[in-house]
Amino acid sequence: MKPPKDRTYTGHPNGRTVTVVRDNNPAAQPLTFIHRHSDTGAFGWGYGPTGPAEDLARCLLLDAHPNSTCTACGGSGYCVWIGGEARAYNSLVELSADNDVEVCTEECDEGYAINRETYQRFKDQVIQHLSPDGWTMTRAEVLAWLDTGALPPASAPF
C-alpha cells in the first residue's frame, strides 16, 4: 500500500485558523471543521481542556487518517443487525421487526474511526502544548502519533 501523501498543517497566530497545504494542491486551504465540542465554531490550541481544542484535535486526526470513516457502520454511526450480523445502517437497508438498529458498537465516534478517547489524548499530549504564536505540523507527524501515542522526538515542541 502506498503511503498517504503528506500534508502540512499550520495554526495561525490569531489562535482560531488552521490551514492545510496538500501535496497535490499547494494553495493553503482551511482545515475542515467538523463541529462536535466548540461553542464558538472555531479551533483553539495552547491551553487546557476546551471545546475548540477538542475539535482541533479531532479534525486534525480525521484529516490525517487515510481511512477516517468507521468500516463497521459506514460512517452513519449506526449499525443494523440482520440475522445476527452487524451491517452499516443507511437508507438502503430494509428494516423489519426482526432487525435492530443500534448505535455503532465499534470504536467509532459518530461514524468516524477516531474515537473520543484517542482525540482527547491527542489534545492533552499535543494540542494544548502548541504555541499561541503559531505552529506547523505534518501529516506524517500526526500519523506517527496515532501509531505510537507520541510525536517523533524531532517534532516537538512545534
Percent of the chain with pLDDT over 90: 18
For residue 101, pLDDT beyond 80: no
Strands 18-22 and 25-30: antiparallel
Q: Tell me the pLDDT tens digit for each residue of 81-90.
A: 666 666 665 5
Q: Tell me the pLDDT tens digit for each residue of 125-144.
A: 999 999 989 999 999 999 99
Q: Which is more confidently placed, 104 or 13?
A: 13
Q: From the CB of residue 48, how many other CB atoms can be counted at a distance below 10 Å?
A: 9
Strands 100-103 and 78-82: antiparallel
Q: CB within 8 A of 105, min separation 6: which ones?
A: 72, 79, 86
Beta bridge partners, 69, equal 112
For residue 109, pLDDT beyond 80: no
